[in-house]
Structure 1
Amino acid sequence: MKVIFVTGTAGAGKSLLTSKIKEYYAKNATFPITLNLDPGVASLPYSPDIDVRDYVDVNSLMEQYELGSNGSLIMANDLIATKIDDIQKEADTINPDYLIVDTPGQIELFAYRQSGPFFVQNFEAEEKMNLFLFDGTMVSTPSNFVSLMLLSTSIRLRLGLPTVNVITKTDLIEEKLQQVLSWSGTDSKLEADLAGEVNGDTFSLVSDMLTSINRNDFQQDLIPVSNATGDGMVNLQSALSRTINLGEEIED
């Protein structure tokens, strides 16, 4: 069993991409399943094969501990770590080729509290990786792009997993897409566009951070994907294979 954690900001399209990846793998002679790891989600665009909501009930926590919505979500996400053995047993019983994990919508609750990294590090699998989603509607400016790049780097450090970066909703930003992709491909282009947007101390700070990211080989080219049209799924699958299958492609 190989595990793909799907992370990103709220609304980036994690759940929909999770379903698309499962569909793609299923059509190509492999056995994928999905794990919903968001205890607070109301509805999903797919039927999860394993669902953390079977083990953690946000509404029950609100009533039992007299918590508000935020407090109950925090407690629910922390409780995920206590259910790892149950979820592991369920996944091992199904024994898929791929387990695609749809992580909580609020990335800070998963990545920056102890429960998320604990789950990632202690869940047993042949290989594990992270797929970080850049919301295409949030990267319209160089500074926004850098902010998401820093977040991706931070999540990679927190989870300790090899990471592939994807830009979603590309059908909504067709006129800006090539410019955004150029920022991920060349440092000089990004810095030049940043210089036209920010100046002074802010530019110096951002430039220093970019230099550090590039020096440590954290910056990666973005893979454009549209959940609506399916464009980019072949390139995404190739990147997943290079990362989690040691370069072995599944049959297309």
Structure 2
Amino acid sequence: MHTIFVTGTAGSGKTLLTSRLLEWYHNNDVSPISINLDPGVSSLPYDPDIDVREFIDFYSIMDDYKLGPNGSLVLANDLISTKIDEIQTQVQELNPDYIIIDTPGQIELFAFRSSGPYFVSNFYSDSKVTLFTIDGTLAISPISFVSLMFLSQSVRLRLNIPQINVLTKRDKIIEQLAEILNWSNSITSLQDSLNLEKDSEQSLLGKDIIKTLYKSGNMLSPIAVSNLTMNGMINLTAALSRILTQGEEEQKHE
């Protein structure tokens, strides 16, 4: 069994990407299951095989602990780690090839509190990888691109497993796509774009950040994907195969 944790900021396309990955694997004769780890989500574009909402009632937490929505979400997400054994048991019964885990919409609740990294490290799987979704409509600004790449590296450090950056909403940024991808491969190109920023302090800070990311070898070039057209899904699943199965699935479908 191989596990894919789908992470990213709110609105970046995590849940729809989860749905598309499920569709892709089903259509390619691979057995996947989905796990929804967001106790506060109201609706999903897929039917989760395992749903944390069956174990944690967000609205009961609000009533029982007299908390507002934000406080209830914090507590609900912290309780996820206490349900790992029940979730693991259900996974073993289903015995899938791939486990696609849709994480909470608020990335800070999963990646930056202790419960999220605990769940990732203690969840049994033959191999694991994180997908960090980057909203393509936000990444068209060089300053925003730098901040998103920095956040990506922060998540990678917290979860401490291999990671793939996914640039979502590809279909909405076709004209800017080549430039955005070039920023992740050429520090000179990104620095030139940052030099055009009106705020000089932001520009200097951005250049300092990317120098550190490039120097450390952690400037992970994103794979551009459209959750609407499925464009880029071949590249993404091939990258997943190389990490999770050393390319076995990739070779199977060539």
State the TM-score bracket (shorter-chain normalisation). Answer: over 0.9
Return closer, same or farther for 1:198/1:104 CA change in 2, 3 Å cut-off: same
Aligned to 2:196: 196
Aligned to 1:220: 220
Aligned to 2:123: 123
Aligned to 1:139: 139
Per-residue deviation, 1:206: 2.2
Q: Distance in 1 between matches of 2:171 and 2:160?
A: 31
Aligned to 1:239: 239
The residue correspondences of 1:106-117 to structure 2 (distance < 5 A) are 106-117=106-117
Q: Distance in 2 between matches of 1:23 and 1:102?
A: 14
Q: 1:23 aligns to what SS in structure 2?
A: helix
Aligned to 2:177: 177
Q: Distance in 2 between matches of 1:217 and 1:104?
A: 28
- Please say if residues 143 and 203 of structure 2, whose CA atoms lie closer than 8 Å, have aligned partners that are also in contact: no
Q: 1:227 aligns to what SS in structure 2?
A: coil
Per-residue deviation, 1:58: 0.3
Aligned to 2:164: 164
Q: 2:217 aligns to what SS in structure 1?
A: coil
- RMSD across aligned C-alpha pairs, in angstroms? 1.2
Per-residue deviation, 1:13: 0.7
Higher mean C-alpha displacement, 207-216 vs 46-55:
207-216
TM-score by length of 2: 0.96
The runs of 5 or more residues in structure 1 that have no matched partner are none
Per-residue deviation, 1:247: 2.6
Q: Distance in 2 between matches of 1:142 and 1:200?
A: 13
Per-residue deviation, 1:105: 0.2
Aligned to 1:56: 56
Aligned to 1:251: 253
* Identical columns (%): 52
Q: 1:211 aligns to what SS in structure 2?
A: helix
Q: 1:138 aligns to what SS in structure 2?
A: coil
Aligned to 2:75: 75
- Please say if residues 35 and 49 of structure 1, whose CA atoms lie closer than 8 Å, have aligned partners that are also in contact: yes
The runs of 5 or more residues in structure 2 that have no matched partner are none
Per-residue deviation, 1:169: 0.6
Higher mean C-alpha displacement, 84-93 vs 199-208:
199-208
Q: 1:128 aligns to what SS in structure 2?
A: strand
- Please say if residues 29 and 251 of structure 1, whose CA atoms lie closer than 8 Å, have aligned partners that are also in contact: no
